[in-house]
Structure 1
Amino acid sequence: MSQSGVPGDWKAISEVKKKALFDSIPPEWRIPSNILPPDTQLDVTPFPVTSGWFSEQELEITAATASSILENVHTWKWSAQDVTKAFCKRAAAAHQLTNCLSEALFSSALSRARELDDHLAKTSSVVGPLHGLPISLKDNFNIIGTDSTVGLAHWVNKPATHNSAVVDQLQDAGAVFYVKTNVPTAMMIAETVNNVFGRTTNPLNRNLTSGGSSGGESALIAFGGSVLGVGTDIGGSLRIPASLTGIFALRPSFGRFPTRGAASALAGQEAVHSVNGPMARGIGEIELFAKTVVELRPWERDPKCVPLPWRSVNVGPKLKLGVMWDDGMVRPTPPIQRALREVVEKLRKAGHEIIDWAPELHEQALGILLKFFTADGGKSLKAILEPVHEPVRPEMAAYSNAAELGVHALWQLQMQRSTVCHEYLNRCREAGIDGILCATTPCAGVEHGKFKHVAYTGVFNILDYAAISFPCGTSVDKALDLASDGSSPLSDMDRQVQADYDASAVHGMPMSLQLVAGRLEEEKVIEMTKTVLRAL
């Protein structure tokens, strides 16, 4: 037995943890067997509305925007307790249908909501701008007394002794934390699967991945179990799952939002920074989070935050965007190619200037990113796996086979990164573009185990640019989005991605694209996204 009282083998630890998670769901929020969707029902997003299991008020609350929830709570139309209870129930349903949670904090959330209601009743004032708003958190955000396993068995039953800086900040603003969401092992796989909780599925099609590493968040939000969630991104971990579930996500530049105090299996790796950011069903929630967090002066909590106040940005009536049709390594699959063509056509009709953007430096930047991830020869990961004999998952074979770079080689790689960033900045400046429009991933949907290419997002982690993944408002049509036309593949990876594409398997899935601005241009990329959405 381990010191925590949990058996010392990873399989036994996993079983105990999974049972504890299910047991934390109150019996009244466990879906009755007579209305439980069968495994053959792939799209479970209609369940809350069609099942008759949710009250009209619960459906109204969980379908509302964050701004509407705040207004209704602050004016006593809804109590914070009613709002929290509705989201707890819908999150419980989401977990039972997609396996999206890692922690259920229902009891403490309801207690917190009750305190907020009492405060408002006694003082006629709110605690802060997010008073009464339920916010879901990716598993790696520490909350005192709660595990942050990041999908690693050795970290089960080792509750946090401190809060992450962003948790303290949001809590001071009045937020209610009610769930933490599942991630892949060490948060370093583009699909959400680990040896502790298993695989999270996409609620729009349970045969498909919800992406990773913030895939528990994306599944929960797409199901309606969260109005606003917080994830992280080191190579696309916000944008990839957002793209695959048809929601919004903002990848900020490092230093804009606080990152101090979050759990990481690669702690100390700072050659490419992990950042945190919002995920939501609408751009309004993205802006609410970003503006609120910055206005709470995160640089006073996290020394790595930039003391940059929130700015009012006017992008003007006409954007100049570079459109990157492919990244030089893997072409988008037919649905994403169509999405790019249709969005570009609508932007041009709306008067925006669109120029072609060549993927210069992208392959070099991807190579640098992947080397950074394994620069320690996989030692950090192996040190966490070995005490409980947990195997390295096949998706992380690169960590098993990696050779440690050494300090000199790492420094040389960082010099290469600096050169790439400088050359890319010069390209953007000389072209006079406001931003770049491109795919978020090559695919509109991916069957489990088949996600292969992170370059469309990961390159912008190397550059540290602000980026948003946004849904285009259209979906895959198997009659229109036929398999590729036989063009010569750009690479072996391109050949694999195109061979995996099956129009029937992803029929009906939402299509998303990525809009990229410069470094520390969060306000600008939000305003540009609004402009693009108006054109659509």
Structure 2
Amino acid sequence: MKVDSWEQVAARKRKAVLDSIPAEWIIPDSLLPPETQDDVMTFPETSGWFTAEELAITNSEVLELLPKLASGELKSETVTRAFCKRAAAAHQLTNCLSETCFKRGLEMARQLDAHLAQTGKPVGPLHGLPISLKDNFNLRGLDATVGFVSHVGAPATEDATLAQLLQAKAGAVFYVKTNVPTAMMMPETVNNVMGRTVNPRNRRLTPGGSSGGEAALVAFGGSPLGVGTDIGGSLRIPAACTGLFTLKASFGRFPALGCRSGMPGQEAVQSINGPLARTLGDLEAYCAAVVGAEPWHDADPRCLPIPWRSSPSSSRKLKIAVMWDDGMALPTPPVTRALRQTAAALRAAGHELVEWSSRDQAEGLSLLNRMFVADGGRAILEEIAHTGEPWILPAMQAYQEAAAAGVAAELGTRDLWRLHAERQAYQKRHLDRWNAAGIDALLCPTTPYASVENGKFRHVGYTGVYNVLDQSCISFPTGIKVDAALDKALDMASYQPMSEVDKMIQSECEFSLNLRSTGPRLPVDHAEAVHGMPINLQLVGRRLPDVWENSETQLIPFAFRLEEEKVVAMTRVVLDALS
């Protein structure tokens, strides 16, 4: 029997996703932006294709929608239909979806509307709210390919634990899943099944990865709130590339069962799921809803029994350490400028700022990379080998090289245990250093870039280290944007790079191809390519907190406290200073 090629399987999958969009949600050719149009963020408002009601709904914050949905002022079916249409548009413009379940979403919405009409009570704190999910969250009847052609046509038989909780206890509605890179192990979003997802703010730029489809959808307004995952920066990098808020929690705060992994069984670095949102308040509302469902009781035995406490308010000033670079790759000029402005704003607000050396960062990134290829690249190789699909290079080069080395590259049990011991010793040294400094938080870049051209994301050191440390982090938009007049590239004739990757980053940011040109491609300053893009920074907290004055956290046993709420509160302090 003839076996279809991987290209044929992938082409059918792409067509099936596009065919699942109803005809009335296909953008008319007369309104479709040309491929040469970089920024498509204004399409919903300028195209005339969306109604005033659809725009009002899809431009609303979650905290604006929830009381209207809970009271019945807005029907969930109406809200869901509006977001379905905008998500369909987002996919046609950015290729951000991996699956749709519009019929399921609308049926869920109708059932929620009926429940509210009959009982007068919402199902839960997210009653009637459409929520998008990253591709790896299983939803019954839908594939979770995680970018592998071999997983096409193998639909899940039940929903992921988080999805069950969001539907049954919080009242959320599911309608789409979003694109990821192969195995979810790249900082951009491209695979051999669905192809590349691009950034709606500038389609020449990446939305990051691996939750890049989710970030592109939320940034465009095709979802009020999305859920992604993070194992080395997979939430924080997309948030930074698109100007969104996200939280990477410590492991055990959110339920994680029932998700598909690109490397099943890899737990040396735990994958954490979390929200992507347009506002900090929306992010916190999601966290409170999920943790408020008490998933440790019956959903996921790995969840810690820690209630969500409202962000504590405190009059005391913060002591924040600033890490200007990670010793491996200097932030590009726009990010450095944003970090300086943020530090200056915090000082002006009376907070104490101290310098933080990057001396431990390279070791943390080395640990991360060694743990990721501890299996010799076999988990990814085996899936690729099933269909003969190619490796996506250079992003997956480390896994390809490990796989090519064969058995010699795979760690045995004893060597893996030694690696775990190294990780534990690294975590303890970092904790001791944090305690000695007496700091509340660490402020640093999320990535070296505001965003970067497709195919040019080079470095995850600023995010991946905090996965190894399992610390709570928020990537947040500063409100500062790239300014081509201010953010000039470094003079590479005089700059001494920190590393080869730094040399590559700075050189590529000196000149980028003008992809809009229909004639010969001309060099253009990187700052011009990313002009106007939002700039995110990262705020890092501890895994175990101190006690805030006048805070209800004092009621929680010390051994069962993590710092997600405090990081949210401190981010609010930073934003207040910047405003």
Task: Using structure 1 for the length normalisation, give the TM-score.
Answer: 0.98
Residue in structure 1 matching 2:124, options 115, 124, 128: 128
Amino acid at match of 2:39: D
How far apart are 1:473 and its partner, in Å?
0.4
Correspondences of 1:187-206 after superposition (within 5 Å): 187-206=184-203
Residue in structure 1 matching 2:267, options 270, 275, 283: 270
- Aligned residues, how many? 532
1:10 aligns with 2:52: no
**Residues 315 and 528 of structure 1 are in contact (CA less than 8 Å); yes or no, is this contact kept in structure 2?**
no
Residue in structure 1 matching 2:38, options 37, 42, 54: 42
Residue in structure 2 matching 1:488, options 496, 503, 526: 496
Gaps of 5+ in 1: none
Amino acid at match of 2:501: M
1:499 aligns with 2:507: yes
1:309-357, Cα deviation, whole Å (9 max, x unpaired): 1224334441110000000111100000000000111111111111111
Specify the alignment match of 1:511 in structure 2.
Answer: 535
1:461 aligns with 2:503: no
Deviates more, 1:397-406 or 1:229-238: 397-406
Specify the alignment match of 1:107 in structure 2.
Answer: 103
Amino acid at match of 2:166: L
Specify the alignment match of 2:522 in structure 1.
Answer: none
Amino acid at match of 2:568: I
Amino acid at match of 2:448: P
Correspondences of 1:398-409 after superposition (within 5 Å): 398-402=398-402, 403-409=409-415
Specify the alignment match of 1:166 in structure 2.
Answer: 162
Specify the alignment match of 2:300 in structure 1.
Answer: 302
How far apart are 1:164 and its partner, in Å?
1.1
Specify the alignment match of 2:280 in structure 1.
Answer: 283
Q: Which runs of 4+ in 1 moved over 2 A?
A: 311-317
1:219-274, Cα deviation, whole Å (9 max, x unpaired): 00110111110000000000000000001110000000011110012111110100
What SS does structure 2 have at the residue aligned with 1:159?
coil
Specify the alignment match of 1:428 in structure 2.
Answer: 434
Aligned-partner Cα distance in 2 for 1:165–1:385: 27
Aligned-partner Cα distance in 1 for 2:569–2:203: 33
Specify the alignment match of 1:377 in structure 2.
Answer: 376
Residue in structure 2 matching 1:442, options 445, 448, 457: 448
Amino acid at match of 1:339: A
What SS does structure 1 have at the residue aligned with 2:396?
helix
Correspondences of 1:300-449 after superposition (within 5 Å): 300=297, 301-312=299-310, 313-394=312-393, 395-402=395-402, 403-449=409-455
1:258-299, Cα deviation, whole Å (9 max, x unpaired): 111100121111101001000011101110111111111111
What SS does structure 2 have at the residue aligned with 1:471?
strand
Specify the alignment match of 1:29 in structure 2.
Answer: 25
What SS does structure 2 have at the residue aligned with 1:279?
strand
Aligned-partner Cα distance in 2 for 1:38–1:317: 53
Aligned-partner Cα distance in 2 for 1:494–1:382: 29
**Residues 58 and 82 of structure 2 are in contact (CA less than 8 Å); yes or no, is this contact kept in structure 1?**
yes
1:72-118, Cα deviation, whole Å (9 max, x unpaired): 11222211011000000000000000000001111110111011111
RMSD of the alignment, in Å?
Answer: 1.1
Aligned-partner Cα distance in 2 for 1:445–1:159: 34
Amino acid at match of 2:567: V
**Residues 247 and 470 of structure 1 are in contact (CA less than 8 Å); yes or no, is this contact kept in structure 2?**
yes
Amino acid at match of 2:476: F
What SS does structure 1 have at the residue aligned with 2:528?
coil
Gaps of 5+ in 2: 403-408, 510-525, 544-561
What SS does structure 2 have at the residue aligned with 1:261?
coil
Aligned-partner Cα distance in 2 for 1:118–1:302: 30
Aligned-partner Cα distance in 1 for 2:413–2:112: 51
1:137 aligns with 2:143: no
Aligned-partner Cα distance in 2 for 1:427–1:487: 31
What SS does structure 1 have at the residue aligned with 2:497?
coil
Aligned residues: percent identity?
Answer: 56
Aligned-partner Cα distance in 1 for 2:316–2:132: 35
Aligned-partner Cα distance in 2 for 1:374–1:231: 22
Aligned-partner Cα distance in 2 for 1:292–1:334: 38
Aligned-partner Cα distance in 2 for 1:371–1:318: 39
Aligned-partner Cα distance in 2 for 1:163–1:9: 30
How far apart are 1:360 and its partner, in Å?
2.4
Amino acid at match of 2:528: S
Amino acid at match of 2:564: E
What SS does structure 1 have at the residue aligned with 2:341?
helix
**Residues 41 and 220 of structure 2 are in contact (CA less than 8 Å); yes or no, is this contact kept in structure 1?**
yes
